Chains A and B, each alone.
Chain A
Amino acid sequence: MTPENANPSPAPAPAGGKKQRPPRQKMPEQPAAERVRNFNEVPYGYSADLAQLEASRCLQCKKPACVDGCPVCVDIPGFIKKVAEGDFLGAARTLKADNSLPAVCGRVCPQEEQCEKLCVLAKKGESVAVGRLERFVADYERERGTGELPPKAPPSGFRVAVVGSGPAGLTCAGELVKKGHRVTVFEALHKAGGVLVYGIPEFRLPKAIVGAEVDYLRRLGVEIEFNAPVGKSETVDELLASGFDAVFIGTGAGLPYFMGIPGENLIGVYSANEYLTRSNLMKAYLFPEYATPIIRGRRVATIGGGNVAMDAARTALRLGAEKSIIVYRRSRQEMPARIEEIHHAEEEGLEFQLLTAPVRVLGDEAGRVKGLECLRMELGEPDASGRRRPVPIKGSEYVLDVDTVVVAIGNGPNPLIPQTTPGLATGKHGNITADEATGQTSKPGVFAGGDIVTGAATVILAMGAGRRAATAIDAYLRAKKPAG
């Protein structure tokens, strides 16, 4: 939460005095001016030396508070100790016991709200850089490890269908296959990873890393069927009837919300999902070598204040925008995006129009965006969420000169499964209702987890849900009939 010393200056080695701790180590990264012109990952990651130095800062607490902040309870002091000792592959084993996608989590977890928030050193703004270490260990293992596979239970004879290959589905599949079950993942798109491949941009999470995780699962024995939109290709009931003993649904978010303001159907107004899918999954930034086009706006406004908005606005810069503007109703304090992303975005020259609400998109004769009319807001009384509610200032309308507008105000649940699965209970927004501890839905043998249950959340929460559901599915199967 504290801005860090801006430069990745070489780490001062621990000074002679024995109680003196080195400062929190920065990751070297691409300079802002350079990186806004490419899609390469922003931070380069720690070197082995930097990682060991950072690891040496951990106090190895007896009752580690940091672990309480991690939704999957990674043994943080345990893996960090091994890093400090230089046993990087050992650290990877410890890490992977609780977290099957550490290279991803190390990059995208909102650490400052989770593990690092509770670290005893956090009070001084110097919490151990758990995420960066996690990333280092995972990258080290991927690049230099032996690629050995964890032990697998003997074949159980049970088959499980996993619908959706986002973090929830992949985690559930990995756990189940290790427990000896035969697992087939059904994915509607032509690539596995869910938001990790279509949403989060290359410069924040290189697709090769997601690809390596998926390959690892396939080597473990997970089968993946692409281009399989369950509900349309086969329904959940058909899967159950065709030999699958249980089904896990991890279909994530879909149905982007729009604001319902005039002009939202003009050319140049995108949902963040469409904008990011074109750029990431379809590689529109390589158009025309890749065939999918995207409008490269000169001046782009992105509406929203979360990770999704930051990703879209930073993508706009890399697509060549002269100006990329975040339009957000509340103040900076309420912005839900990860601190590191806001910080990176600022370095890259993103402009923030805070306490600002769009009221109308203006178009030209050809139906293309030519401006965004906005209204200034001020903070009023706190609302149900405890945040002070923004209220419009009368007569404060003004027009932002933009030619592209990206709407990043959230998503509803993906509709295909709820629409086609009788007996599957859903909540009032259409999310699937499932037990928090087990993922059990209202339908026997059908479990669910991730964004489709909780609404838009985080990678690690989706993984946690996938993992808990795998435990519950395993118990369900073994209770069903004696393991074969």
Chain B
Amino acid sequence: MAKVVARREIAPQTVLLELEAPKIAAKRRPGQFVILKKDEAGERIPLTIAMADHARGTITVIFQMVGAGTRGLGAVPVGGEVMDVVGPLGKPTDIHKVGTVVSVGGGIGTAVAYPIAEAMKAMGNRVIGIIGARNKDLLILEDEFRKVADELLVTTDDGSYVRKGFVTDVLKEVIARGAPIAEVLAIGPVPMMKAVCKVTKEAGIKTVVSLNPIMIDGTGMCGGCRVDIGGQTKFACVDGPEFDGHLVNWDVLGTRLSAYKAHEQEACRLHGAEKR
């Protein structure tokens, strides 16, 4: 049982939950995730640990309410409880001093990119942040990101805030400046990560991505989270979730994420929620 100590809607359909989980808060490292199961009948939902407060003994997750599972989780009020919280899972990010890193966050992926950028900065790297969203309302963590980045560039697909364009457009401009970039960390929807990797491959810049396949146990038992990395099958929950972006087979990941589309609609109907 983990008590919800804070809950905020930080963008439409986007919820921040702070949960009491002292052991996980003490142990977690950037890049790791937890699996939450709301109640007896709930799904096991993997979410990145966006922040952790060791002193308060809490962890924070930020997620988009995309289906019945995340919607149910997002409905837990302050003072309410989440039945099961497992973690920290996955390999932590390899945090080291390399020089300049560019951290790219797209949509909800910004919540995953944020703790890594924070740790990269603390390690003494120069961090350039690029965050984007479909529109102004959906942009998250701008202030937080600004605090940990040496430079933060913001973009929106529709131009409703700062500028119009995709994160890849901004990334190309940053690369074009000519200053050396040691590494790019890209986290967001599959098409975005795929596009970023195309850009960085051409520019010859090492790129790390964090993958979000469908998971169940998160301990390397079920094989549901398998991804194709350079032609090899890897299990994202124990071998990842971060991988060399230039080796990821994006089509396999994209397809597998659509496995339960029909079920998802059925579940949403049952729970009387309307699909966006």
Q: Which residues of A pack against B, CB within 8 Å?
A: 188-190, 198, 226-229, 232-234, 253-256, 258, 260, 264-268, 270-271, 273-274, 277-278, 282-283, 286-293, 295, 366-367, 414-416, 419
- Look across to chain A and name the residue whose beta carbon is closest to the beta carbon of B255: A367
User: Which residues on the A side are within 8 Å of B222 (C-beta)?
Assistant: 256, 271, 273-274, 277
User: Which residues on the A side are within 8 Å of B238 (C-beta)?
Assistant: 415-416, 419
Instruction: Choose from B37, B68, B69, B267 the contact partner of A190 (Cβ within 8 Å).
Output: B37
- Chain A CB within 8 A of B16 CB: no
B226 near A265 with CB under 8 A, answer: yes
B263 near A293 with CB under 8 A, answer: yes
Instruction: Choose from B68, B87, B221 the contact partner of A232 (Cβ within 8 Å).
Output: B87
Q: How far is the CB of B242 from chain A (nearest CB, A)?
A: 15
Instruction: Choose from B228, B233, B267 the contact partner of A288 (Cβ within 8 Å).
Output: B267
User: Which residues on the A side are within 8 Å of B62 (C-beta)?
Assistant: none
Q: How far is the CB of A393 from chain B (nearest CB, A)?
A: 28
Q: How far is the CB of B92 from chain A (nearest CB, A)?
A: 10
- Chain A CB within 8 A of B57 CB: no
Q: Could you say which interface size class chain B belongs to?
A: 35 or more
- Look across to chain B and name the residue whose beta carbon is closest to the beta carbon of A225: B23
Q: How far is the CB of B48 from chain A (nearest CB, A)?
A: 15
Q: How far is the CB of B101 from chain A (nearest CB, A)?
A: 26
B259 near A190 with CB under 8 A, answer: no
A271 near B41 with CB under 8 A, answer: no
- Look across to chain A and name the residue whose beta carbon is closest to the beta carbon of B91: A419
Measured CA separation A198–B221 after assembly (Å): 10
Measured CA separation A254–B223 after assembly (Å): 9
Interface bits B23-56 vs A (CB < 8 Å: 1, else 0) = 1100100000000010001111000000000000
User: Which residues on the A side are within 8 Å of B252 (C-beta)?
Assistant: 265
- Look across to chain B and name the residue whose beta carbon is closest to the beta carbon of A256: B223
- Chain A CB within 8 A of B160 CB: no
Measured CA separation A256–B238 after assembly (Å): 13
Q: How far is the CB of B47 from chain A (nearest CB, A)?
A: 14
Binding stretch for chain A, among B5-13, B136-144, B201-209, B212-220: B212-220
- Chain A CB within 8 A of B165 CB: no
Q: How far is the CB of A287 from chain B (nearest CB, A)?
A: 7
User: Which residues on the B side are within 8 Å of A254 (C-beta)?
Assistant: 219-221
User: Chain B interface secondary structure, helix, strand, loop or mixed?
Assistant: mixed
User: Which residues on the B side are within 8 Å of A270 (C-beta)?
Assistant: 224
- Chain A CB within 8 A of B85 CB: yes
User: Which residues on the A side are within 8 Å of B24 (C-beta)?
Assistant: 233
User: Which residues on the B side are within 8 Å of A190 (C-beta)?
Assistant: 37, 83-84, 86
Measured CA separation A463–B240 after assembly (Å): 33
Interface centre among A228, A232, A255, A416 (most CB of B within 10 A): A232
User: Which residues on the A side are within 8 Å of B221 (C-beta)?
Assistant: 198, 253-256, 273, 277, 414
User: Which residues on the B side are within 8 Å of A290 (C-beta)?
Assistant: 41
Measured CA separation A202–B235 after assembly (Å): 28
Instruction: Choose from A255, A288, A293, A295 the contact partner of B235 (Cβ within 8 Å).
Output: A255
User: Which residues on the A side are within 8 Å of B264 (C-beta)?
Assistant: 293
Measured CA separation A273–B215 after assembly (Å): 12
Instruction: Choose from A233, A268, A289 the contact partner of B27 (Cβ within 8 Å).
Output: A233
Measured CA separation A266–B255 after assembly (Å): 8
- Look across to chain B and name the residue whose beta carbon is closest to the beta carbon of A260: B233
Instruction: Choose from B23, B27, B223 the contact partner of A271 (Cβ within 8 Å).
Output: B223
A232 near B89 with CB under 8 A, answer: yes
- Chain A CB within 8 A of B99 CB: no
Q: How far is the CB of A177 from chain B (nearest CB, A)?
A: 24
- Chain A CB within 8 A of B270 CB: yes
Interface bits B67-108 vs A (CB < 8 Å: 1, else 0) = 011001000000000011111110000000000000000000
Measured CA separation A277–B41 after assembly (Å): 14
A292 near B223 with CB under 8 A, answer: no
B84 near A227 with CB under 8 A, answer: yes
User: Which residues on the B side are within 8 Å of A234 (C-beta)?
Assistant: 23, 27
Given A233-B24, A291-B43, A293-B260, does the pair A274, B224 have CB atoms closer than 8 Å? yes
Measured CA separation A232–B222 after assembly (Å): 17
Q: How far is the CB of A311 from chain B (nearest CB, A)?
A: 15
Given A229-B219, A233-B87, does the pair A282, B44 have CB atoms closer than 8 Å? yes
Instruction: Choose from A229, A255, A292 the contact partner of B43 (Cβ within 8 Å).
Output: A292
User: Which residues on the B side are within 8 Å of A264 (C-beta)?
Assistant: 233
User: Which residues on the B side are within 8 Å of A419 (C-beta)?
Assistant: 238
User: Which residues on the A side are within 8 Å of B260 (C-beta)?
Assistant: 293, 295
Q: How far is the CB of B259 from chain A (nearest CB, A)?
A: 5
Given A229-B86, A271-B224, A291-B42, does the pair A414, B255 have CB atoms closer than 8 Å? no
Interface bits B231-269 vs A (CB < 8 Å: 1, else 0) = 001010010000000000000100110111001101100
- Look across to chain A and name the residue whose beta carbon is closest to the beta carbon of B24: A233
Interface centre among B69, B85, B263 (most CB of A within 10 A): B263
Q: How far is the CB of A352 from chain B (nearest CB, A)?
A: 25
Interface centre among A258, A271, A292 (most CB of B within 10 A): A292
26 of the cross-chain contacts (CB-CB < 8 Å) are A227-B86, A229-B86, A229-B219, A232-B88, A233-B24, A233-B27, A233-B87, A233-B88, A234-B27, A255-B221, A255-B235, A265-B228, A265-B233, A267-B255, A268-B259, A271-B224, A278-B216, A282-B43, A282-B44, A287-B263, A287-B267, A291-B69, A292-B43, A293-B263, A367-B256, A416-B238
Measured CA separation A356–B64 after assembly (Å): 45
A274 near B23 with CB under 8 A, answer: no
Instruction: Choose from B85, B223, B255, B267 the contact partner of A255 (Cβ within 8 Å).
Output: B223
